[in-house]
Amino acid sequence: MSDAKSWIAAPLGYAPSRDERAFFEGERPWGFILFGRNLASPSQLAELVEELKEIGGRETTPIFIDQEGGRIRRLKPPFAPQRPAPGVIGPLYREDPERAIRAAFLHGRLLAADLAAYGINANCVPCLDVPVAGAHDIIGDRALHSDPEVVAVLGRAMAEGTMAGAALPVMKHMPGHGRGRADSHHELPVVFTEHGELAETDFLPFARLSDLPCAMTAHILYHAIDPERCATLSPRVVSEIIRAEIGFDGLLMTDDISMKALTGSFRDLSAQALAAGCDLVLHCNGEMAEMREVAKATRHLTGDAERRAARAETVISGESDKVDVEALSEEYESLLAIAA
């Protein structure tokens, strides 16, 4: 991994073009992320994943995807079964907390199994955002619960289920997207809530799960903490909140640097994110001109970033537990039926 650089790239189509392959081999992204545009058939997807790992130079090259269940899923039938949104688990917690925790674990484990069929080894779950009344519905049923303590409990179970399947979980969106009144894909949400209240609500699930290996930032401006820069670009949010107050010493990746919440050149945005303390820049739309700008700002992983990346890859290199996926699916569905 010594030649890997501090970014995650996304191929544009069903297979890397000649130019993409040469670019990726030269600029050495630490990992790759996949989207619906990369899926033509199950066999093609497996071949794409294998080729990306070959470009990455190691079997543990992280191949990320957003497969939460519900409306946020890249693998749809026939690529993978249709799993529900994480929000279905919350009502079960009110009925039977122990069964809800089991359901959250199974949710993560089944998603990991769906991805493993193609060699995909990293999933952007759990979503630990705590929704509040009046917020934009971009989070909505992606949230596990409205109580931050319950979000933490269920989120840990989901992360553990993911890791049991030898997939790297990515908790998001740190330090909390639940109050955003805008969709950061299109504009920058600004949160005016005071620091103390944020610590007791939005930040709490991340603090409870601060020992997990990987997290993704939120493109949200927390006015009470840094009135000028959103979390992804803010040294104050990263150092004082994420690293110190929350206590997270895992691998920190940005949310997609090409989202419209951010303005400026991709080179400058990437440099700002790394200077703020993020370990990796995530770029998702596959546009070569933008990727070239991102790559100019990145650097080889060294020091704490390299240590954190190596720890994350140990999850991928671990052995998956042996399970009967069909039996687990039946158990999962029976648990959810209790709260239906």
Among the listed residues 255, 256, 279, 283, the single catalytic one is 255
Query: Catalytic pick from 19, 185, 186, 321?
Result: 185
Q: Is 185 one of the catalytic residues? A: yes
Of 103, 109, 70, the residue nearest 89 (C-alpha): 103
Torsion, Cα of 74, 79, 82, 83 (10° steps): -70
Residue 256 is a catalytic residue: no
In this structure, which amino acid lies at residue 237?
V
Helices 97-116 + 325-339 axis angle, to 10: 140
Q: Report the distance separating Cα 22 and Cα 55, nearest Å.
A: 9
Quickly count: other Cβ atoms within 10 Å of residue 194's Cβ.
11
User: Phi first, then psi: what are they for 70, rounded to 5°?
Assistant: 70, -135
- The DSSP code sequence of 22-51 is HHHHHH-EEEEEE-GGG-S-HHHHHHHHHH
Q: Which residues are catalytic?
A: 185, 255
